[in-house]
Structure 1
Amino acid sequence: MPHLSPRSDLATHEVTNQPAPRGDLDLWANDPALRDHAQAGGAQADHLASYGARIGTADMQAAGRDANRHPPELLLFDAGGRRLDEVRFHPAYHQLMQTGIGAGYAALPWEGAPGGHATHAAMVYLTSQIEPGVCCPMTMTYAAVPALRADKALLTYWVPKLTARTYDGAPLPLARKPGATLGMAMTEKQGGSDVRANATTATPEGGMYRLNGHKWFCSAPMSDGFLTLAQAPGGLTCFLVPRWLEDGRNAIQIQRLKDKLGNRANASAEIEYVNTFAHRLGDEGQGVQTIIEMVHHTRLDTAMAPAGLMRAALDHAHYWARHRTAFQKQLIDQPLMRSVLADLALDWEGALALGLHVAAFFDKPGDEARAFARLSVALAKFMGNKLCPNVVYEAMEAMGGMGYVEDTPLPLLYREAPLNSIWEGSGNVICLDILRTLRREPLAGEVLSAELGAAAGSYRRYDAALRDHMGRFPRLPDEAQARWYAESLATLLTASVLIRHAPPAVAEGFIAARLAGGRGRISGAIEGVDSAAILGRLGEG
């Protein structure tokens, strides 16, 4: 149904100096930075052009708002007291899931076309701008595929449904569905990130297993299956737990839904396994080694999502500044506003460029590419997520009071901003993993050195910053310095990527504001950057 046009001539005043509703947004055509870095990463431009136009429509924006305003509802029992253990979603959630899954969000990287992972990573970036909550179940479905290679039979049975480009949220066993999603349930109360402390037990029974225990976080509890960890007789082991069996529900009991800060469209639950039927995935005692394949790929998405959140926040702030007047000037013409937005835009484009550069290594064959992908995705995840909350906050402030109310997307983006730093390894865990990778995988360090060296000789201040880093860290630091080391390394790697793939004004601005020193701690406290050229990367709005 078409909506009535709003009236500006009200009884007591006329509405002026308020930016008009934006309508459809073409998230590909209006993002020159995305187009540049997607091309550099080998992503499929035609596919992204189609998806960017579709996911940004007013219809999809409305679905994103509805999915957040009407969060999932837990139904533990029916009217007669029989257990249901179901989560029900607003139709907008299913609409968004169908759009993403149908466009190949989970399938593209495994279909064999060039640039599949880079294209997927760009889709994460685009989807996060409209409704980031639905990314979680789609991301886990994408990331589960390589973990399932640990068992040929499970791989053959499950992967065709996980990569079917068909979304089916019905509570039916896998054999009766055209498409499926896969979730994850790993952490427990006593261990958190230390999954080796898990206490859930797995008892062999007729070639299968029965699980008993509690999971503190179960992401997307209405998925068709879950990868989970439990203590089998041979040690911590990975299992695939189907949500539905041929004769009804598997014995997965939902205790409650988490009352989260953000990510409201997505359900996160506490669950209990009570003699729950499960398939072993990989050998007993090899649980961490098996599921790390899933974690590795979900980290790519947690590196891309903050770039999408930053982009969405800056896009709205930039549009506001271009269509709002204060003190007889458009906000965008105020020098201080331009400095603030340009400074924030450097963080956003740096995160976008590094994320898509990392994604390209997921597409490359060979041990060197794999080693560097593991290292660089951790650097990208750490840095982008540490920058994201401040960028979203400053964009909110740039819009004034309007940025603080739910009529704009900024509150949703602000609630979402911390999430991806916590999921799949919080900051300290990621920094320690960076050190561990460099110690254990010499190839990762060799490719890193080549990546940093590829930009040498272009800018004197970049070369000086690289020398300063090597002087400060002539060897791997101890744990107490791991954050400093990771920040320095990620900043240098971002600069290297921007030097090679971004316009000179962006690379020069990043080097001046991030590597050359002489700036304040607050956004906008910079000098020596071409604000107009940097803001041009945000598009016309």
Structure 2
Amino acid sequence: MLATEARIYPTTTHEVTNQSGALTGVNLFGQDAILRDTVLREGAGWVAEPAALLGEAAGDPVWQDHAHLANQNGPCFKSHDRFGHRIDLVEFHPSYHALMGLAFGSGVHSLGWTANRPGAHTARAALSYLWNQIENGVGCPTGMAYSAIPALRLVPEIQAAWEAKVLADAYDPRPLPIAEKAGATIGMALTEKQGGSDLRANATRAIPVNGGSPGGEYRLTGHKWFCSAPMSDAFLTLAQTEKGPSCFFVPRSLPDGTRNRFFIQRLKDKCGNRSNASSEIEYDDTYAVLLGEEGRGVRIAIEMAHLTRLDFAIGSAGLMRWALSLTLHHTHNRRAFQRVLAEQPLMRNVLADLCLESEAATLLAFRLARAVDEAASGSEEARLLERILTPVAKFWNCKRAPAFVAECLECHGGNGFIEEQPMARLYREAPLNGIWEGTGNVICLDVLRALQREPDTLAALLAELSLARGADRRLDLAIDALETELSDTRDQEHRARQIAAQIATVMEAALFARCSTPAAADAFIASRLEGLPNRAFGSLPRDCDLGSIVARSRLT
């Protein structure tokens, strides 16, 4: 029985009052003015109908219960059946399968490639933003499917057999050869025990079967320390060849129906993201197909990472939005000391500050999504802007999310710390996107790499910021200060986090000045560009219009 179906019996000891209740029956797209305006402005207004359908599901208590159950009852690994045969099976709770069906059926994984119209990646970002307000574990297989398409296209035979199945709006968990599947999922297995993010330190070996060439057959021997979604139909992986790290396609089932030599060792017991299986695996003479040229594996992985990093920037923004919506609901429906929480001056300051932070993450992530769309259409300026904004947005949104969610949880008091409440799951989930596809240091070094290897990225960044010049004197000064900071090449690696944070904050301020309300823009600029360093949430200046800022972020 789902929690929403449980009967509520009266109590004889006391009356239950002053509980905020669950936030249900809302449409997280149709009732989110900031999201609707942002998606329209960034060129994907046509996604409103499918986004509204997914937004309605996000506010449905049935799907909220599925999210809770899938995380309370995580995956279980069975290496052998009862007769002693090795089966390498990961079993999932039925709620996980239901969520996978909804996500893949809604095109969360595919719309960026299937829409074939302007703004496709931004439209797909809107669905991912909404999905991260339903359940985050399923966001891993949807994100991997989304980012895998460019790699699959490197070998025409792989593309012909797999792309349509990966992009299908169907979830088919049956362990069958690809020709018999209605839809397919893709996993990734890149890192190893000794290397972590240093992919060139990988030790897994790849031996060519017939000379070695793109699309050729190889045999892999080695291990992977993190393999996400190990029940996927195929995996993208890295292994060493004579020319260095190379990218390979590893199907779970061979064309003759037999299982590939892909062995799960165990599942990771993770802090969060518990509905999604993460595993340790071994290759032992495993069949694989080379994607691209030998020695180009890290480059191919980086190209995939640009899309997954976009997805993490979007995902963290979505997670923050859901935490904020829960917090606004609770504080507007809970009283303390004879007053509604949200009406008390200090709480209003905290809530307005959280609203600004959430909107900033949303503005930044979707501006990046539009750059991805424009770059795909051939704009060189957009490609340069995408190159610098991708690591900036990934670093900043993922870094801000944990502190943001912690503040939202605190607004709930003790109730927020209880596992039955969604805030506890969001709190455990929030740090993960900052680890996947590069920790903060790795990402900030990529910001420097973009500036140093492609100096024109700086010109593209400054051109984007210049669009907001003249809107606010404080912002003009901040843009000037950023330009000075970036022209200083001394000790840049030491200053990499400072540089990335400064780019992100000034970009967010510029987007507020151009895209948000005057009250929100003024408060953001006053608090982020002029405010005290290491400020806590709830430190907005006294003359800010807190009421209008909070009202703009409420689901209406």
Indicate if the aligned counterparts of 1:101 and 1:165 stay in contact, CA closer than 8 A. Answer: yes
Indicate if the aligned counterparts of 1:465 and 1:516 stay in contact, CA closer than 8 A. Answer: no
Match of 1:231 in 2: 240
Whichever residue aligns with residue 6 of structure 1, its letter is I
Range moving further from structure 2, 505-514 or 22-31: 22-31
Whichever residue aligns with residue 534 of structure 1, its letter is I
1:424 aligns with 2:428: no
Match of 1:308 in 2: 318
Counterpart selection for 1:169 from 166, 173, 176: 173
Indicate if the aligned counterparts of 2:485 and 2:499 stay in contact, CA closer than 8 A. Answer: no
Indicate if the aligned counterparts of 1:109 and 1:120 stay in contact, CA closer than 8 A. Answer: yes
Match of 1:406 in 2: 419
In 2: Cα distance, 1:436 partner to 1:324 partner: 49
Q: What residue ranges of structure 2 are gaps of 5+ in the alignment?
A: 211-215
- 1:366-422 CA distances to partner (integer Å, 9 max, x unpaired)? 232222212101111111111111111111111101000012101100000100011
Change (3 A) 1:520 1:77: closer
Whichever residue aligns with residue 104 of structure 1, its letter is G
In 1: Cα distance, 2:6 partner to 2:95 partner: 22
Match of 2:110 in 1: 107
Match of 1:323 in 2: 333
Match of 2:213 in 1: none
Q: Secondary structure at the match of 1:230?
A: strand
Q: How far apart are 1:4 and its partner, in Å?
A: 5.0
In 2: Cα distance, 1:114 partner to 1:473 partner: 33
In 2: Cα distance, 1:72 partner to 1:159 partner: 27
Q: How far apart are 1:166 and its partner, in Å?
A: 1.0
1:492 aligns with 2:506: yes
In 1: Cα distance, 2:476 partner to 2:295 partner: 47
1:67 aligns with 2:70: yes
1:86 aligns with 2:89: yes
1:272 aligns with 2:252: no
1:284 aligns with 2:288: no
Match of 1:35 in 2: 36
Q: How far apart are 1:526 and its partner, in Å?
A: 2.1
- 1:44-99 CA distances to partner (integer Å, 9 max, x unpaired)? 22221222112321111111011101100101011122111111111111111111
Q: How far apart are 1:115 and its partner, in Å?
A: 1.4
Q: How far apart are 1:278 and its partner, in Å?
A: 0.3
Q: Secondary structure at the match of 1:249?
A: coil
Match of 1:483 in 2: 497
Q: Secondary structure at the match of 2:550?
A: helix
In 2: Cα distance, 1:337 partner to 1:200 partner: 54
In 2: Cα distance, 1:362 partner to 1:133 partner: 24
Range moving further from structure 2, 333-342 or 51-60: 51-60
In 1: Cα distance, 2:134 partner to 2:51 partner: 15
Match of 1:535 in 2: 550
RMSD of the alignment, in Å?
1.5
Q: Secondary structure at the match of 1:276?
A: strand
Indicate if the aligned counterparts of 1:225 and 1:243 stay in contact, CA closer than 8 A. Answer: yes
Whichever residue aligns with residue 355 of structure 1, its letter is A
- 1:427-462 CA distances to partner (integer Å, 9 max, x unpaired)? 011111011111122332221111111101000111
- 1:306-353 CA distances to partner (integer Å, 9 max, x unpaired)? 111111111111111101111110001100001011111111110011
Indicate if the aligned counterparts of 2:205 and 2:221 stay in contact, CA closer than 8 A. Answer: yes
Q: How does 1:443-482 map to 2 (within 5 A)?
A: 443-476=456-489, 478-482=492-496
Q: How far apart are 1:5 and its partner, in Å?
A: 4.7
Range moving further from structure 2, 466-475 or 424-433: 466-475
Whichever residue aligns with residue 373 of structure 2, its letter is D
Indicate if the aligned counterparts of 1:435 and 1:476 stay in contact, CA closer than 8 A. Answer: no
Q: How does 1:8-47 map to 2 (within 5 A)?
A: 9-43=10-44, 44-47=47-50
1:204 aligns with 2:208: yes
In 2: Cα distance, 1:94 partner to 1:221 partner: 15
Match of 1:339 in 2: 349
Q: How far apart are 1:518 and its partner, in Å?
A: 4.1
Change (3 A) 1:242 1:519: closer
Range moving further from structure 2, 15-24 or 341-350: 15-24
Q: Secondary structure at the match of 2:424?
A: helix
Indicate if the aligned counterparts of 2:325 and 2:555 stay in contact, CA closer than 8 A. Answer: no
Indicate if the aligned counterparts of 1:147 and 1:292 stay in contact, CA closer than 8 A. Answer: no
In 2: Cα distance, 1:53 partner to 1:114 partner: 25
Indicate if the aligned counterparts of 2:77 and 2:90 stay in contact, CA closer than 8 A. Answer: yes
Q: Secondary structure at the match of 1:132?
A: coil
Indicate if the aligned counterparts of 1:150 and 1:290 stay in contact, CA closer than 8 A. Answer: no
Q: How far apart are 1:176 and its partner, in Å?
A: 0.6
- So what's the TM-score if we normalise by structure 1? 0.97
Q: How far apart are 1:258 and its partner, in Å?
A: 0.6
Indicate if the aligned counterparts of 1:180 and 1:223 stay in contact, CA closer than 8 A. Answer: yes
Change (3 A) 1:29 1:476: farther
1:363 aligns with 2:352: no
Whichever residue aligns with residue 116 of structure 1, its letter is A
Match of 2:5 in 1: 3
Q: How far apart are 1:148 and its partner, in Å?
A: 1.9
Whichever residue aligns with residue 35 of structure 2, its letter is L
Whichever residue aligns with residue 509 of structure 1, its letter is A
In 1: Cα distance, 2:236 partner to 2:534 partner: 46
In 2: Cα distance, 1:446 partner to 1:257 partner: 46
- 1:220-272 CA distances to partner (integer Å, 9 max, x unpaired)? 10111110000122321100000112332111111110111100000000000
Indicate if the aligned counterparts of 2:23 and 2:59 stay in contact, CA closer than 8 A. Answer: no
Match of 1:516 in 2: 530
In 2: Cα distance, 1:121 partner to 1:291 partner: 21
Whichever residue aligns with residue 210 of structure 1, its letter is R
Indicate if the aligned counterparts of 2:229 and 2:278 stay in contact, CA closer than 8 A. Answer: yes
Counterpart selection for 1:251 from 248, 255, 261: 261
Range moving further from structure 2, 165-174 or 201-210: 201-210
In 1: Cα distance, 2:555 partner to 2:294 partner: 55
In 2: Cα distance, 1:58 partner to 1:114 partner: 34
Q: How far apart are 1:484 and its partner, in Å?
A: 0.4
- So what's the TM-score if we normalise by structure 2? 0.95
In 2: Cα distance, 1:196 partner to 1:81 partner: 38
- Give the total of aligned pairs: 540
Counterpart selection for 2:133 from 118, 129, 132: 129
Whichever residue aligns with residue 536 of structure 2, its letter is I
Q: Secondary structure at the match of 1:244?
A: coil
Change (3 A) 1:168 1:476: farther
In 1: Cα distance, 2:60 partner to 2:112 partner: 25
